[in-house]
Amino acid sequence: MTLLVETKNLSKTYSITSGFLWKKPHRFKAVDGVDLAIRSGEIVGLIGESGSGKSTLGRLIARLIQPSEGSVYFDGKDITNLSHKELIPYYRRMQVIFQDSASSLNPRKTIGEQIVTPMLRMGIANHRSEAEFSVYLILEKVGLKKEHFTRYPHEFSGGQRQRIGIARALAVQAEFLILDEPTSALDVSIQAQILNLLLDLREELNLTYLFIGHNLAVIEFFCDRVAVMDKGRVVEMLPADELYERAVHPSTRKLVDSVLSLDPGVQRYS
């Protein structure tokens, strides 16, 4: 498998001001020297305690924020220092799906409109009728209906809104999805449906995912490999199905043991 995403020594430093003008801002590394390689078609999970830098790493890779040091490569090209204009094709190829899709949907526009517009802007379709026809097919592919085209975001459930987010990514022919806790706010049965949809789409369209999550059972079920973050660094990388048995780093063991101590039988997903 070829490499699709690679980071080299990727870091993000924030300056935190105390509110007192005479005190020097405190600088800390939210992401600290991360080397990560994701192969085409692979699902890499990203776990770690709250505040360990998972979302920041996702945003750096998606080039939504500028790294302080290091590089991001996508499909073999160094995209670290590209201008906003030069990044536009990469923003199409890499899409982020957040826990709360509603926040990225315009409440005043129909979902059909919100999927068609980027398709036309990014040149995926040349004509509105062509784009609309593709959107009908994509809505069905993600488990929604043609009739949903003319509905507004508030008319959908949380699970349906995540399907809309996935539809938007498919509409612009994204290849790499950063899934930032996409199912954490959903009921277990809806969560399983969305994860299975994502697995089917990966198979059919050879998509690649970076999946940020807290639920180790979901990670074990959904991912091929898992990267563990602690204080901004990736401290361990291992196959997802060996997470419980082979984890050695203390921060991974802490995450794994906290799950196992609850109930080893119940916590496993599949």
Q: How far is the CB of 231 from ligand ATP (least distance, A)?
A: 9
Give the residue from 55, 4, 63, 1 showing the smallest Cα distance to 30: 55
Question: For residues 4 and 30, which CB has a smaller minimum distance to ligand ATP in the complex?
Answer: 30
Pairing label, strands 233-239, 225-230: antiparallel
Question: For residues 48 and 112, which CB has a smaller minimum distance to ligand ATP in the complex?
Answer: 48
Q: How far is the CB of 52 from ligand ATP (least distance, A)?
A: 4
Question: For residues 48 and 67, which CB has a smaller minimum distance to ligand ATP in the complex?
Answer: 48
Residues linked to residue 69 through DSSP beta bridges, in sequence order: 11
Question: Considering only residues 106-135, where is the footprint of ligand ATP by CB under 6 A?
Answer: none
- Contact status: 213 vs ligand ATP (CB under 6 A): no
Give the residue from 55, 52, 14 showing the smallest Cα distance to 212: 55
Question: For residues 45 and 112, which CB has a smaller minimum distance to ligand ATP in the complex?
Answer: 45
Q: How far is the CB of 247 from ligand ATP (least distance, A)?
A: 18
Q: How far is the CB of 217 from ligand ATP (least distance, A)?
A: 17
The alpha carbon dihedral of 190, 192, 194, 200 has a sign of negative
User: In the numeric block, which tokens belong to residue 10?
Assistant: 């990727």
CA distance 202 to 189: 20
- Contact status: 101 vs ligand ATP (CB under 6 A): no
Question: For residues 30 and 61, which CB has a smaller minimum distance to ligand ATP in the complex?
Answer: 30
Per the rule left: phi > 0, alpha: psi between -120 and 50, beta: everything else, 169 is alpha
Question: Considering only residues 49-68, where is the footprint of ligand ATP by CB under 6 A?
Answer: 50-56
The single residue among 45, 48, 67, 158 that binds ligand ATP, judged by CB under 6 A, is 48
Contact at 8 Å (CB) between 215 and 45?
no
Interface with ligand ATP: number of residues (CB under 6 A) = 10
Q: How far is the CB of 40 from ligand ATP (least distance, A)?
A: 25
DSSP string, 34-95: EEEEEETT-EEEEEESTTSSHHHHHHHHTTSS--SEEEEEETTEE-TT--HHHHHHHHHHEE
Binding site for ligand ATP (CB under 6 A): 14, 30, 48, 50-56
